[in-house]
Amino acid sequence: MSIRFSVQSGAFELPEPQKVKNWVAEVVKRRGKQVGNINYLFCDDEYLLQANMRFLDHDTYTDIITFDYVAGGLISGDIMISIDRVGENAEKFGVPFEHELHRVIIHGVLHLLGQGDKTDSDAAEMRRQEEEALALWNMMFHAEQIA
């Protein structure tokens, strides 16, 4: 059982990977589930576009694609994240890059936990759960900086 991070190309390095692993595991645990094998691949727009066309037949750029391999209470999957898109969205929404990165990282996990985002109500619930998970990140790691 593990959470792994890899990079398709470029100089991207995930800030504080152990903290991210602990946070993702805590989000999963709080839903009464267990981490199986969750693999993150950080890539560029073109790489993710090719995957989107190949596997989902979608000819559009996206920030994330989640492949769900969940079995019962064991949460497993492959999550591909476009670092290009995360950067653009951070600028668009006026948030720090790392905040948007964390939102997208947990977005994929929430999909593995069963949360959809295709309808307006599902998308609103996804956003609420993302915000709840981001608040947990702040509680887990920003409180230690203040203390």
User: What's the token pair of residue 82?
Assistant: 């476009």
Nearest to 83 by CA among 19, 131, 16, 15: 15
H-helix or E-strand spanning residue 41: strand 34-43
| In the chain, where the domains are located | 2-146
**Chosen CATH of 2-146 out of 2.130.10.10, 2.60.40.1730, 3.20.20.70, 3.40.390.30:** 3.40.390.30
pLDDT of residue 147: 45
Mind listing the pLDDT tens digit for each residue in 48-105?
Answer: 999 999 999 999 999 999 999 999 999 999 999 999 999 999 999 999 999 999 999 9
Q: Are strands 74-82 and 64-68 parallel, antiparallel or unpaired?
A: antiparallel
